[in-house]
């Protein structure tokens, strides 16, 4: 099931899950969890419900995934904080989270959607490419304690 963020603990879970899962799977350091915390804090403090939203994926009432749609302030929606617990993968929930985010952005009047990811996140990149996102930038990135390539993707929503 996918539902909008809004239950007590949802935002804290997003931060905790990002910190724990990315450390376990990719060896990311605390800078990554801090980035997730900043994105969540910005969303919680000032999101416009007409232009921004966030969702939680659940299995049997347990949180297993997230995605956020935020305003990029340049006509683009920005997909942020896509995450799916390893135990919940293989059920199509990651794709459904992205589809929910993209459809919201379309309904909200954005002309395009952008996202920033890392080359190590192969499964997420596959989801984005299957939905028509195209790579528009890539550059070395080391902020999270690993040698990575930061990638920016865009999708035309028109």
The DSSP code sequence of 57-89 is EEETTEEEEEEEEEE-SSSEEEEEEEEE-GGGT
% of the chain with per-residue pLDDT over 90: 94
pLDDT value for 128: 98
User: What is the per-residue burial (b if ≥16 Cβ within 10 Å, else e) of 59-87?
Assistant: eeeebbbbbbbbbbeeebbbbbbbbbbee
What is the average pLDDT value for the chain, to the nearest integer? 96
pLDDT value for 145: 85
Mind listing the pLDDT tens digit for each residue in 119-153?
Answer: 999 999 999 999 999 999 999 998 898 889 999 99
pLDDT value for 72: 96
Mind listing the pLDDT tens digit for each residue in 41-63?
Answer: 999 999 999 999 999 999 999 99
Domains of the chain from N-terminus onward: 2-156 (3.40.630.30)
Mean pLDDT of 103-109: 97
Length of the chain (residues): 158
Q: Per the confidence metrics, is the pTM higher than 0.85?
A: yes
């Amino acid at each position: 099931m996918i539902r909008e963020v809004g239950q007590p603990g949802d935002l804290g879970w997003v931060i905790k899950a990002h910190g724990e899962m990315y450390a376990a799977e990719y060896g990311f350091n605390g800078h990554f969890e801090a980035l997730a915390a900043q994105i969540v804090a910005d969303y919680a403090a000032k999101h416009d419900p007409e232009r921004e939203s966030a969702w939680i994926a659940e299995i049997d009432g347990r949180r297993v995934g997230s995605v956020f749609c935020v305003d990029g302030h340049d006509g683009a929606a920005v997909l942020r904080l896509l995450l799916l617990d390893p135990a919940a993968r293989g059920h199509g929930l990651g794709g459904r989270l992205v589809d929910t985010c993209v459809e919201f952005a379309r309904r909200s009047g954005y002309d395009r959607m952008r996202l920033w990811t890392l080359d190590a996140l192969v499964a997420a990149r596959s989801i984005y490419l299957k939905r028509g996102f195209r790579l528009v930038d890539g550059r070395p990135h080391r902020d999270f304690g690993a040698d990575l390539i930061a990638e920016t993707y865009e999708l035309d929503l028109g």
